[in-house]
């Protein structure tokens, strides 16, 4: 199996402003969100980062997506360092989170073309792929409607399609089903499975156990920015289900009190 | 091969041109507003001037000599003779605009004048009271003092100055020169302020706005280098601001005849002529405006990138607006462009001086070139800063 993603000792801390200190209920000025995280993901698999809110999942994925730089450590996508060659990494990577928004003024058609062009996709390839994807997600009927006027579900599908316009090898998805209605959530998870079948590598973060059990091949449990356990799903769930395993690990670490 | 700068440029232009309201407010509206505002200002100014020239002046005179009575007979001075004890009451009338002018002659004025040339004669005082807040009163004042001067010269003619105003043009300035100084004193500031506000209307929205709405990050995920994103944005924003600037210029130029023409014509026949300017002047104007627009956009872009929200950006760009205003004020106090090169090395100030020079038709090509060069160099530095900012997670993803 080909190792597509190799994460080595990623560490990231943030300086907290006075306001943030109050919000986080802490006196420390520095918050270490991710502490020496290491894991690998292989071609044609879905890897899940499982952890509670504030565990450091989003921070980790943003480092992989080259939006923020780690304090130390590195990650390699097909051997390319996210720290040293971020632009090359971006060529072959798709990243999707609810924080990234589409400009509501534009139509799905325009946005798709724009992002394809930003990735320097030849026009004929772009048109062919756009037709396929728009049809698959039912965007074709709304291709010329301003995104602002689309339903929430259609907006999310458009975001999804746009994020894979350049046919990336690795797709990073932060909380893929968060805030989606059940129908759209199903469409999204089906698409992830389809991408996997095409041999793509997919990294998802989530706090939903059932999602991990359903779609992930392997998963890492992170608590307070540290990887507690990382293995294949079938090994993790050999004795008990994922939820029970998670809480056992969680109480061990936190000393019984929540 | 597709170029990142071009792709970003096209997207920004599509955003701008596709939004009819945005296009209207940034391109059509400034020119229209200026045209309407200036035309109304011009109209009311010229009617004020006409009023004060053609009106009958309510004039009160104490101890009116017969010569003066004859002098004012066929003029629009509506004369009422009053006694010395009515002086204070008439001063109050001036304030309430019931009177326009009060002239006080000494009682022995005529006898005194008759003794002109004799030893030991006391020079008589003629006092003219007026109310400067009243346009009509002011006009009456300047008319009557001119009349009295003439009268005085008639009595003691030592020599004549400019006697033949009928047939000789004593003002050697041509229409072109007149146009120059008028334009030079007000246009640079007006123009720069308008351009700055055009820039202010679009750049914060495009940079701080995209940051605030979370659409910027999507662009940062593409392999297009940050420098190209910065350049594409700055160029597109400059193009839009330039359209707004051109619209303001057109509005200003179209309203010039009514703003200044009437006023001047009712004065002494000077007029405004646009044909004063050569293609070279226009080329200089375009170079200066273009480089200034790029400079403004770059400055506002850097400030907007620093801001977390559009609102914050709009606040941050205001102090620069004041700088532009102060720099522009320098043109009102001196209608001559500075010639020393160092004036042209300071951004903004150099644009003001160059514009003064162009409008007054007295610029050197070197100064214009230096101004454009300085603006471009400073913009380029700004662009590098902007690229660094787009690269900085603290700035782009601050919480
Ligand atoms: N830009 C930032 N500035 C300060 N603190 C941050 C920043 N980003 C994340 N954090 C903090 O780091 C921790 C991990 O956050 P995050 O990665 O979003 O967790 P998760 O996605 O697992 O919920 C949280 O305590 C969060 O408040
Ligand atoms: Mg998160």
Which class would CATH give B53-152? Answer: alpha beta
Residue carrying structure tokens 């009060």: B102
Question: What does the pLDDT read at residue B132?
Answer: 82
- The phi and psi torsions of A37 (rounded to 5 degrees) equal -80, 130
Q: Is B220–A67 a contact, with Cβ atoms under 8 angstroms apart?
A: yes
Segment B193-210 shows an average pLDDT of 91
Residue carrying structure tokens 């003619």: B157
Can you list the pairs that A110-116 forms with residues at least 24 positions away whose Cβ atoms lie under 8 Å? A110/B14, A111/A147, A111/A158, A111/A162, A112/A161, A112/A162, A112/A165, A114/B7, A114/B11, A115/A162, A115/A163, A115/A165, A115/A166, A115/B218, A115/B222, A116/A165, A116/A166
Residue carrying structure tokens 């458009």: A158
In B, what residues contact A, Cβ < 8 A? 1-2, 4, 7-8, 11, 14-15, 18-19, 210, 213-215, 217-225, 393, 396-397, 399
To the nearest whole number, what is the mean pLDDT of chain B?
82
CA–CA separation, B333 vs A125, rounded Å?
63
Residue B111: enclosing H or E segment and its boundaries? helix B109-114
Atom of ligand 1 nearest to the CA of A175: 21
CA-CA-CA-CA dihedral for B287, B293, B295, B300, to nearest 10: 180
Please check whether the domain covering A3-254 is classified as CATH 3.40.50.10160: no
- Residue B208's nearest CA partner among B319, B317, B305, B302 is B305
Ligand nearest to the CA of A56: 1
Question: What does the pLDDT read at residue B182?
Answer: 59
Residues of A in contact with B215 (CB under 8 A): 100-103
Q: Is B222–A106 a contact, with Cβ atoms under 8 angstroms apart?
A: no
CA–CA separation, A35 vs A72, rounded Å?
9
Burial category of B158 from C-beta neighbours within 10 Å (exposed 0-12, middle 13-18, buried 19 and up): exposed
Going by pLDDT thresholds of 50, 70 and 90, the confidence category of residue B263 is very low
Is the pLDDT at B169 greater than 70, yes or no? Answer: no
CA–CA separation, B59 vs B102, rounded Å?
6
pLDDT: which is higher, B87 or A64: A64
Segment B18-30 shows an average pLDDT of 86
Pocket of ligand 1 (CB under 6 A): A 14, 16, 20, 24, 31, 33, 51, 53-59; B 399
Q: What is the pLDDT of residues B108-140, one digit of tens each?
A: 888 887 777 777 777 788 889 998 888 788 888
One DSSP character per residue, chain A reads --EEEEEEEEEEEEEPPHHHHHHHT---SEEEEEEEEEEEEETT-EEEEE--TTSSHHHHHHHHTTSS--SEEEEEETTEETTT-HHHHHHTEEEE-TT----TTS-HHHHHHHHHHHTT--HHHHHHHHHHHHHHTT-GGGTTS-GGGS-HHHHHHHHHHHHTTT--SEEEEESTTTT--HHHHHHHHHHHHHHHHTT-EEEEEES-HHHHHHH-SEEEEEETTEEEEEEEHHHHTSSS-HHHHHHHHHHHHHTT--
Q: Is B215–A103 a contact, with Cβ atoms under 8 angstroms apart?
A: yes
Report the range of poorest mean pLDDT among B47-56, B175-184, B359-368.
Answer: B175-184
Segment B147-174 shows an average pLDDT of 63
Of A34, A51, A54, the one to substitute when testing ligand 1's pocket (max ligand atoms within 8 A of C-beta) is A54
Q: Is A91–B223 a contact, with Cβ atoms under 8 angstroms apart?
A: yes
CA–CA separation, B100 vs B386, rounded Å?
62
DSSP letter, residue B361? T
Question: What does the pLDDT read at residue B270?
Answer: 41
Report domain extents, chain A. 3-254
One DSSP character per residue, B76-94 reads SEEEEEE-GGGHHHHHHHH
Segment B34-41 shows an average pLDDT of 79
CA within 13 Å, CB half, B390: 28
Burial category of B309 from C-beta neighbours within 10 Å (exposed 0-12, middle 13-18, buried 19 and up): middle
Burial category of B224 from C-beta neighbours within 10 Å (exposed 0-12, middle 13-18, buried 19 and up): buried
Q: What are the mean pLDDT values of chain A's consecutive 10-residue runs (258 residues total)?
A: 94 88 82 95 96 94 96 96 96 91 95 97 97 96 96 93 96 92 92 95 94 94 92 86 86 71
- pTM attached to this predicted model: 0.79
Is the pLDDT at B144 greater than 90, yes or no? Answer: no
pLDDT: which is higher, B143 or B396: B396
Atom of ligand 1 nearest to the CA of A34: 14
Segment B366-378 shows an average pLDDT of 94
Of A16, A19, A22, A33, the one to substitute when testing ligand 1's pocket (max ligand atoms within 8 A of C-beta) is A33
Is the pLDDT at B266 greater than 50, yes or no? Answer: no
Q: How far is CA B197 from CA B96, B171, B186, in A?
A: 42, 39, 17
Question: What does the pLDDT read at residue B170?
Answer: 55
CA–CA separation, A99 vs A86, rounded Å?
20
Atom of ligand 1 nearest to the CA of A56: 17
- What value, to the nearest 5°, has the Cα angle with vertex B98 and ends B93 and B99? 70
Is the pLDDT at B269 greater than 50, yes or no? Answer: no
CA–CA separation, B243 vs B247, rounded Å?
6
Ligand 1 atom 25: the closest Cα is on which residue? A54
Segment B214-223 shows an average pLDDT of 94
Q: What is the pLDDT of residues B287-338, one digit of tens each?
A: 999 999 999 999 999 999 999 999 999 999 999 999 999 888 877 766 677 7
Ligand 1 atom 11: the closest Cα is on which residue? A33
Residue B101: enclosing H or E segment and its boundaries? strand B101-104
Q: Which candidate from B19, B222, B399 shows the least CB-CB separation from A118?
A: B222
Report domain extents, chain B. 3-46+174-396, 53-152
pLDDT: which is higher, B335 or B64: B64
| DSSP β-bridge partners for residue A72 | A11
A177 Cα: distance to centroid of ligand 2 (angstroms): 12
pLDDT: which is higher, B279 or A258: B279
Interface probe for A, chosen from B5, B9, B218 (most Cβ of A below 10 Å), is B218
């Amino acid at each position: 199996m080909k190792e597509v993603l190799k994460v080595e000792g990623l560490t990231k801390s943030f300086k907290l402003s006075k306001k943030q200190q109050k919000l986080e209920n802490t006196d420390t000025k520095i918050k270490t969100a991710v502490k020496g995280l290491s894991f690998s993901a292989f071609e044609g698999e879905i890897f899940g980062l499982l952890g509670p809110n504030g565990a450091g999942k989003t921070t980790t994925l943003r480092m992989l997506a080259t939006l923020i730089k780690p304090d130390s450590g590195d990650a390699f996508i097909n051997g390319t360092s996210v720290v040293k060659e971020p632009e090359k990494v971006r060529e072959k990577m798709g990243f999707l989170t609810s924080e990234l928004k589409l400009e509501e003024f534009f139509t799905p058609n325009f946005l798709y073309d724009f992002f394809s062009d930003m990735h320097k996709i030849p026009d004929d390839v772009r048109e062919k792929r756009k037709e396929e994807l728009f049809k698959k997600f039912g965007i074709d009927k709304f291709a010329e409607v301003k995104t602002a006027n689309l339903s929430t579900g259609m907006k999310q599908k458009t975001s999804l399609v746009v994020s894979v316009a350049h046919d990336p090898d690795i797709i990073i998805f932060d909380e893929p089903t968060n805030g989606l209605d059940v129908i759209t959530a199903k469409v999204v998870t089906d698409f992830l499975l389809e991408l996997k079948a095409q041999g793509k590598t997919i990294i998802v973060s989530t706090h939903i156990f059932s999602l991990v059990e359903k779609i992930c091949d392997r998963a890492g449990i992170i608590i307070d920015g540290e990887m507690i356990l990382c293995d294949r799903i079938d090994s993790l769930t050999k004795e008990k289900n994922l939820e029970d395993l998670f809480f056992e690990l969680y109480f061990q670490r936190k000393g019984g009190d929540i | 091969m597709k170029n990142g700068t071009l792709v970003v440029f096209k997207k920004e232009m599509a955003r701008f041109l596709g939004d009819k309201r945005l296009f209207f407010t940034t391109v059509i509206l400034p020119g229209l507003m200026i045209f309407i505002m200036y035309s109304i200002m011009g109209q009311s100014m010229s009617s004020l001037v006409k009023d004060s020239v053609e009106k009958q002046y309510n004039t009160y005179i104490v101890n009116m000599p017969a010569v003066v009575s004859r002098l004012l007979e066929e003029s629009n001075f509506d004369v009422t003779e009053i006694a010395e004890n009515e002086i204070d009451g008439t001063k109050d009338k001036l304030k309430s605009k019931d009177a326009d002018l009060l002239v006080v002659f000494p009682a022995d004025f005529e006898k005194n004048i008759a003794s002109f040339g004799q030893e030991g004669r006391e020079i008589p005082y003629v006092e003219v009271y007026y109310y400067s807040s009243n346009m009509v009163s002011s006009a009456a004042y300047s008319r009557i003092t001119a009349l009295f001067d003439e009268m005085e010269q008639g009595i003691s003619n030592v020599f004549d100055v400019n006697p033949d105003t009928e047939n000789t043009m004593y003002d050697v300035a041509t229409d072109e020169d007149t146009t120059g100084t008028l334009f030079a004193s007000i246009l640079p500031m007006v123009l720069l302020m308008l351009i700055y506000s055009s820039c202010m209307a679009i750049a914060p929205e495009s940079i701080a706005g995209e940051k605030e709405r979370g659409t910027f990050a999507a662009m940062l995920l593409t392999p297009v280098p940050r420098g190209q994103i910065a350049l594409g944005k700055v160029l597109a924003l400059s193009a839009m601001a330039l359209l707004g600037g051109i619209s303001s210029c057109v509005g200003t130029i179209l309203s010039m005849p009514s703003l200044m023409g009437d006023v001047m014509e009712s004065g002494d026949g000077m007029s405004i002529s646009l044909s004063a300017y050569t293609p070279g002047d226009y080329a200089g104007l375009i170079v200066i405006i273009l480089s200034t627009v790029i400079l403004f956009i770059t400055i506002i872009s850097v400030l907007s990138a620093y801001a977390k929200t559009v609102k914050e950006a709009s606040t941050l760009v205001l102090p620069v607006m004041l700088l532009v205003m102060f720099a522009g004020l320098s043109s009102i106090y001196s209608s001559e462009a500075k010639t020393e090169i160092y004036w042209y090395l300071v951004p903004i100030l150099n644009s003001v001086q160059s514009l003064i020079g162009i409008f007054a038709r007295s610029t050197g090509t070197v100064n214009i070139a230096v101004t454009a060069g300085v603006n471009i160099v400073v913009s380029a530095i700004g662009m590098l800063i902007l690229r660094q900012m787009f690269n900085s997670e603290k700035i782009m993803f601050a919480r």
